[in-house]
Structure 1
Amino acid sequence: MARSRRFVRWILWALMGIAAVSLVLAAIVVIPIVTHTDAGPATPAPTASDPSTASSTGPDGRTRTLSVFEEDGVTPADLSAVKAGDRFVVKGSGFDSSYGVYVAVCEDPGDPLVKPSPCIGGIPEDATDGKDPDAPDTHEFLETTWISDNWAWRAFATRGYDNSEAGEFTAYLTIPASSTDLIDCTTTECAIVSRNDHTAANDRVQDLLVPIRFAS
């Protein structure tokens, strides 16, 4: 009987320990999201000479650049008449790698204080399908890409940053169908967009928009 009681106590202590560790891990993940302070919108820089690139300097002093290339990753993209299935390579630099970013085709709200949304490619979830997203030659072109180096989310993100210190990343983007129930990019201004992921969803500092137009 005494041995049985000791065994039950051991099980209870083990369960309490597991619960405590789970709570600590949950707090480590949730607290930074809840306590995040928004840096505010960035200030776009003129890019009329290169319509495939957007650049901005944020209140945090970082100058971010988002550039869209053809599938070869070298030729600046022609975004004047895109269609579903077109493939582009999107490169970012100057981003704050302590936060993840989504790269997708979204509505351009025309206001730097407003989140670019909705997005016709949706918001990426686990796009890795069990693959190592940083392994050589794994360049799967997706309708949305989630870039993150955060330890809690890295296993679910599509890719990590190419260079964390420089805030550089590469996204391989397939243009989705031009419309959903929420948006029609043939009649609404849309763009290839970078924006903070769900860990800082209301912070507009990493919003960059490269306008696109769908072929009629």
Structure 2
Amino acid sequence: MISTIAAVALPLLGTASPVAHRTVEMDGKNYDLTLVAPTTITAGVPVPVGGHGYNPGQGIFVALCAIPATVSPSDPGTFTSRPSPCLGPRGAGGTSHRIVNGATGEHTSPYGPDGSFRVTLTLQPKIADGVECDVDVRCAVVTRADFTATDDRRLDLYVPVRFARK
């Protein structure tokens, strides 16, 4: 598996944004996953997040989550714990989104071509009671397998973020 974080221009978001990348094998096929998100977030201001290369047969969540203490966001070999807690619940207020083939809804969208997605999230630093980004925990915009494969770490990607000071 390969993982790099670099600032590159991607047509997906139309601007230079940090990128997380890794290659994974699923169902006998290699998937080159890419997640793009800004690294500085202003609370309450919508943030564009995009990705491509995902397996459209497996749903994902896109969310702001605490980075587990044992995880190094640039080293998939450390991705042994689920990113948690995450801002939510279930997309309330545009805080997270589920990408899946098939059913869509208020906080669910279908994959685009080549396992791509583009969503807008509205984030805040307090992600759970007593858990605040930049204060109690390190946080990242992440992708992770949805509830149909909660323990599958192959779809985990992290773009570490910080919140702008007011």
TM-score range, shorter chain: 0.7 to 0.9
Question: How many angstroms apart in 2 are the aligned matches of 1:122 and 1:199?
Answer: 17
Residues 177 and 185 (structure 1), Cα distance of their counterparts in 2 relative to 1, 3 Å cut: closer
Contact 2:85 2:127 in 1 (8 A): no
Question: How many angstroms apart in 2 are the aligned matches of 1:176 and 1:121?
Answer: 10
Shift of the alpha carbon at 1:154?
A: 3.6
User: Percent of aligned positions with the same letter in both sequences?
Assistant: 32
Question: How many angstroms apart in 2 are the aligned matches of 1:192 and 1:158?
Answer: 17
Aligned counterpart, 1:87: 46
Question: How many angstroms apart in 2 are the aligned matches of 1:160 and 1:49?
Answer: 27
After the TM superposition, list the runs of 4 or more consecutive aligned residues in structure 1 that deviate by more than 4 angstroms: none
Letter in 2 for 1:119: C
Contact 1:194 1:208 in 2 (8 A): yes
Q: Which has the higher strand share?
A: 2
Unaligned runs of 5+ in 2: 9-16, 72-77
Contact 2:125 2:132 in 1 (8 A): no
Correspondence for 2:97 among 119, 141, 145: 145
Shift of the alpha carbon at 1:49?
A: 4.2
Question: How many angstroms apart in 1 are the aligned matches of 2:130 and 2:144?
Answer: 19
Shift of the alpha carbon at 1:156?
A: 6.6
Shift of the alpha carbon at 1:214?
A: 1.5
Contact 2:87 2:96 in 1 (8 A): no
Q: Look up the SS of the partner of 2:43 in the other structure.
A: coil
Count the aligned residue pairs: 145
Q: Look up the SS of the partner of 1:170 in the other structure.
A: strand
Letter in 2 for 1:174: T
Q: Which has the higher helix share?
A: 1
Q: Look up the SS of the partner of 2:36 in the other structure.
A: strand
Unaligned runs of 5+ in 1: 1-42, 69-76, 128-140
Residues 149 and 93 (structure 1), Cα distance of their counterparts in 2 relative to 1, 3 Å cut: same
For residues 3-38 of structure 1, the C-alpha deviation after alignment (integer angstroms, 9 at most, x for no partner) is: xxxxxxxxxxxxxxxxxxxxxxxxxxxxxxxxxxxx
Q: Using structure 2 for the length normalisation, give the TM-score.
A: 0.77
Contact 1:102 1:123 in 2 (8 A): no
Residues 156 and 84 (structure 1), Cα distance of their counterparts in 2 relative to 1, 3 Å cut: closer
1:121 aligned onto 2:58 = no
1:186 aligned onto 2:153 = no
Letter in 2 for 1:55: H
Aligned counterpart, 2:110: 160
Aligned counterpart, 2:74: none
Shift of the alpha carbon at 1:176?
A: 2.6
